[in-house]
Amino acid sequence: MKTMTQNPTQNETYPAAAPTHGAGNRRPTARPETAATGDDSDTRGSEFPADYTIYKPNPRATRGVVRFSLNRAKAALFVDAANQSGDKQFDWENKITMKWNLSDIGQVLATLQGDIPQAKLFHQSEKANSGFELSFRDDPGRAPYLLGMSRQTAADKSVRKVAIPLTHGEAAVLEATLRTAVSRLIGW
The CATH number of the domain holding residue 150 is 2.30.31.10
In a domain, 116, yes or no: yes
Fill in the DSSP letter of residue 29: P
| Predicted local confidence at residue 188, as pLDDT | 83
| CA separation for the pair 118, 96 (Å, rounded) | 20
Q: In terms of residue numbers, what domain contains 93?
A: 50-186
Does residue 35 lie in a domain region?
Answer: no
Does 104 reside within a domain? Answer: yes
Determine the residue type at 185.
Answer: L
Rounded CA separation 36/4 (Å): 26
What pLDDT does residue 93 have? 96
Average pLDDT over residues 135-139: 95
Cα–Cα distance between 68 and 55 in angstroms, integer?
12
Distance CA 172, CA 108 (A): 12
pLDDT value for 49:
57
Smallest CA-to-CA distance from 85 within 172, 19, 16, 162 is with: 162
51 strand-pairing partners: 69
Over residues 11-63, the pLDDT tens digits come to: 443 433 333 333 333 333 333 333 333 444 444 444 455 799 999 999 998 99
Strands, E, within 59-101: which ranges? 64-71, 76-86, 89-90, 96-100
| Single-letter amino acid code for the residue at 101 | N
> 5 lies in a domain?
no
Mean pLDDT of 141-156: 96
Does residue 175 lie in a domain region? yes
The pLDDT, as a whole number, for residue 159 is 96
Give the predicted TM-score (pTM) of the model. Answer: 0.74
> In this structure, is residue 174 part of a structural domain?
yes
Does residue 44 fall inside a structural domain? no
Question: pLDDT averaged over the chain?
Answer: 81
Determine the angle formed by the axes of helices 102-112 and 168-186, rounding to 10 degrees.
150
Short-list 70, 46, 57, 79, CA closest to 12:
57
Question: Which band of pLDDT confidence, cut at 50, 70 and 90, is reported for residue 157?
Answer: very high
Helix, coil or strand: residue 94: helix
State phi, psi for 100 to the nearest 5 degrees: -100, 145
- Whether residue 137 lies inside any domain: the answer is yes
How many domains, in total, are found in the chain? 1
Q: What is residue 75's DSSP assignment?
A: T
